Amino acid sequence: MCGAIFLEGIDVGMFNVALPSIRADLPMETGELQWIISAYILGYGGFVLLGGRAADLFGRRRVFLIALTVFLAFTGLGALATDPWMLIVARAATGVAAAFMAPAGLSIITTTFTGATRDRAVLIYSGVGAGGFSVGLVAGGLLTMFGWRWVFIAPLVIAAALLAIAVPFIPRAANALAALSRGRLDVLGGLTVTTALVVLVAGIEGAPHRPLLTTVVTFAIGALLLLAFVVVERRAAQPLVRFGIFRHANLVRANLGAALLAGGFLGFQFVVALYLQEELGWSVLETSLALLVSGIDVIIAPLFTPRLVARFGTRRVILGGLVLAALAYALFLPVAPDWTYAMMFPSFLAIGLAFAFAYGPLTIAATEDVEDDEQGLAGGLLYTGFQFGGAIGLAVVSGLLVALESTEAEGVEAYRGALFGPLVFAIAAVAIAAGGVLRRRAVSRV
């Protein structure tokens, strides 16, 4: 399971640093370029609820293996892309496969372990996933030196190895056939919510360079589709999302925090990768190595975060991590063309620590109060928050860059302005986490 989440992390990480090389080979505008990442995120985030529920209903092992096979196939197809649309379609399909694979893997872990061992397993799992992203940053730089298509080939090899190991070693669930006989997947609900969120993100991305009326109509369509999703779910015999699950306050706060954390982080990485390579002229490898320190979470998360959670509690550790994220973006705001790496280093280190302290505990908070038969759904909701938060963060930052470029903002001014997006996301996340801590204190006093 850790191998699978590592695969998902390394796959996303490699593309962040490969974007300028892809732009050079397949001419793409800034607004179009971000869809290479967003297509994956939208496919992932749009279907992850469906994937999580499928794992609950049809067997976690079965869903995991099928999804891993599809991931492998479309990763290979992406390496053959010759036009931007082919690359975007391949990334979207790979994201859909990951949407079924990730919650199935997480629910296998959360239903296998209990108590403190479960928390430690989740933190290790989350740390490995975040570490995969960090390794992907460096691996992406190295592989892109030989051509951007290698960022498809590496995940292909990893996926093939994982599939060969998973088939004999993941145990079959005793009640898998019974679950299959009683399960009924809410495909209509999944398609409705996916379409709604894709439309909303497209509206955010296009707002800076489209007529106001077009933007308003786009948001209205997205809102109507969300309303249709609610109607579908209320009428479904076995809904994709049982709305009663949102009575878990921890789950709601964790999902909001996850969305804002991912949105700020991916938006920040998008701006930094373009700034270092296109403004400062750094190579892909130099950019990867510069960002490597953010991978410190792969060490901190499994070794120190469990101790912090045991000592201070999940909520306080999450709050500390989100404060570090806000600090990271704030420290980078004064960026200037004459900045040295030493001046950028504190931001990259702070974001690594932020993920070490927030990512795993958010996963614990989102799943700890949920029954075993809805662990897949809880995992799906969490990953929906991460992925759509990331998509919106990328759309906001891309839109800000396009808007600033249209006002003839030059060089670093455009990048500096776009960095306000991640900072606002982080501040909102801190406010939500602080509310959870204060609520806990009030309850304790009573």
Low-confidence ranges of the chain (pLDDT < 50): 175-181, 446
Whether the Cβ atoms of residue 381 and residue 52 lie closer than 8 Å to each other:
yes
Topology agreement, domain 1-183 and domain 243-445: yes
CA distances from 240 to 100, 125, 157, 169, 343 (A): 14, 25, 33, 29, 47
Parse the chain into domains and list their residue ranges.
1-183, 186-239, 243-445
> What are the phi and psi torsion angles at 237 (to 5°)?
-65, -40
pTM of the model: 0.79
Per CATH, domain 1-183 is 3.30.420.10? no
Tens of pLDDT, residue by residue over 231-257, are 998 888 778 788 888 888 888 999 999
pLDDT of res. 304: 87
pLDDT of res. 205: 62
What are 384's two structure tokens? 């929906």
CA distances from 301 to 120, 121, 209, 284 (A): 10, 11, 41, 27
Q: CATH topology for 243-445? A: Growth Hormone; Chain: A; (1.20.1250)
Tens of pLDDT, residue by residue over 364-405, are 888 887 787 788 788 888 888 887 788 788 878 888 887 776
| Secondary structure (DSSP) of 388-430 | HHHHHHHHHHHHHHHHHHHTT--THHHHHHHTHHHHHHHHHHH
